[in-house]
Chains A and B, each alone.
Chain A
Amino acid sequence: MTGILDPEIWQTANDARERRYAEATTELERLEMELLLLAIFRHHGFDFRSYAQASLHRRVRKHMETTRVPTISRLTELILHEPAALQRLLHDLSVNVTAMFRDPTFFAEFRKTVVPLLRTYPTVRIWHAGCSTGEEVYAMAILLEEEGLYERCRIYATDMDSTVLDHARQGIFPLSRMKEYTANYFLGGGTRSLSDYYTAKYDGALFAPRLSKNVLFTQHNLAMDRGFSEFNVILCRNVLIYFDRGLKDQTLRLFSDSLTKLGVLCLGRKESLRFSDLEHEFSALSERERIYRRNK
């Protein structure tokens, strides 16, 4: 017999009802996210709506867990009325995970492919975009010094967050990471010993001030500010993954306009110019290491 009492049909009806309820809840959460991002934009001016939504949503949920805010709507209310809550959220929404010589093969390839090009220029202008706490800026400074190029380099290291730049200026990184960085350094073609470049003090490694002597750490927001001009090299590794496709393209356009003719663009290991409108404006020097050169 089939009919209203058939347990299987009951089960199906319940499943369908539960599914509709679950779908409505998910829709509601997406709406709450939209309203939160709009509130941040209208109230503070920063536009997270052009960020990659999946990881942004994750950071919002994580922030809510640590600050014990039960719903996104409640968070929206908090940030509109409490400046401190807004600052805490903005801090948690920016990603500041970085390392020295991350992807060592990139640094080895840079020595092999880009350094010979740079040798032909009397002065070299480099832009590290989204440098966070500066680990990669110091790593690149070490590489340039070992290749005898550092003295002719002017390095602009930028981030949207001024607190991480303060950290970067100090050049002190956790001593506990030095073992990992040393291994990366050698894999990346390092010719001395990483410990030649820092002094251990308590639990920190203080890097030699000469490494930042030609570096200007300065605040710059890739989503909102204009570019600089005439760079020979732009490094922006693992930053564009946090942008949506539109903002990524806009940023690549900014980079293209800020590079000299035949200037070099270095992206993260899993970022590429594929899936972007600017693919044809660049040629790969090393597709594997994501090192590109502006065509003209």
Chain B
Amino acid sequence: MSGRYGLVVMGTSTGGLHALTRLLAALPARYSLPIVIVQHRSKDSDERLPALLQVASRLPLREAEDKEPLRSPGVYLGPPDYHLLVEPESLALSTEEVVTYSRPSIDVLFESASYAFGSAVIAVLLTGANQDGTRGLSQIKARGGYVIVQDPASAESDFMPRHAVKHVAVDRVLPLEKIAAELVARASETRPG
């Protein structure tokens, strides 16, 4: 009996550090799905971001390397100045041009996850101030994945989640403190016959 889902992808921009800190802290240390995160960051961003997130997270967290195998429990963060993409069993990086003003871009991560994992992806879009992520979420929905968006009312910056909710038929709109429980519930779902 295998799980319905194989991967969690998350995207966030402005306000993301605070939101990710709280969300990761609420996940159990043995969370069964690999989690891949793009947080918008400048190309000069250093290793303080992964260090801060690791302090909050009980799961092992690291900045992604090219061709790194996806493991669980494990949290992988997109490095600055690279796009982060998902292959069926590993991570991949790209230096291609910026997308929606961003590298790493949330759309690039989400679209690659939907192509590699099809309907077995859970995507989470959190606080942010641009429209990156919406296109990726609609791609994930089109391929049968599961989409959670942070309730704009609870977001530090509501533009990104609001834009997504307006354009994509999302599965759940949840306040930040309820997202971890939803991720735990979805991870225990089995694949129906």
Q: Could you tell me which A residues sit within 8 Å of B by CB distance?
A: 16, 18-19, 21-23, 25-27, 29-30, 52-55, 57-59, 61, 95, 97, 238, 240-242, 245, 248, 268-272, 274-276
Tell me if B142 counts as interface (CB < 8 A to partner A): yes
Given A19-B119, A58-B111, answer yes or no on A270-B64 (Cβ-Cβ < 8 Å): yes
Given A16-B192, A240-B66, answer yes or no on A54-B144 (Cβ-Cβ < 8 Å): no
Chain A's closest residue to B113 (CB) is A54
28 A-B contacts (beta carbon < 8 Å) = A19-B119, A19-B144, A21-B144, A22-B119, A23-B119, A23-B143, A26-B118, A26-B119, A26-B143, A29-B115, A30-B115, A52-B85, A54-B116, A57-B112, A58-B94, A58-B96, A95-B96, A97-B96, A240-B66, A241-B66, A241-B95, A245-B67, A268-B66, A270-B64, A270-B79, A270-B93, A274-B65, A276-B67
Return the contact of A271 from the options B66, B111, B192 (Cβ within 8 A). B66
List residues of chain B with CB within 8 A of the CB of A52: 85, 87, 92
Given A25-B143, A26-B143, A58-B108, answer yes or no on A241-B94 (Cβ-Cβ < 8 Å): yes
Distance in Å from the Cβ of B41 to the closest Cβ of chain A? Answer: 14
Q: Could you tell me which B residues sit within 8 Å of A by CB distance?
A: 63-69, 79, 82-83, 85-87, 90, 92-97, 108, 111-112, 114-116, 118-119, 142-144, 192
Q: Tell me, in angstroms, the Cα distance from A77 to B96 when the chains sit together.
A: 27
Distance in Å from the Cβ of A265 to the closest Cβ of chain B? Answer: 15
Q: Is the interface of B mostly helix, strand, loop or mixed?
A: mixed
List residues of chain B with CB within 8 A of the CB of A54: 85-87, 92, 112, 115-116
Chain A's closest residue to B120 (CB) is A23
Q: Tell me, in angstroms, the Cα distance from A189 to B142 when the chains sit together.
A: 49
List residues of chain B with CB within 8 A of the CB of A238: 95
Given A52-B92, A271-B66, answer yes or no on A58-B85 (Cβ-Cβ < 8 Å): yes
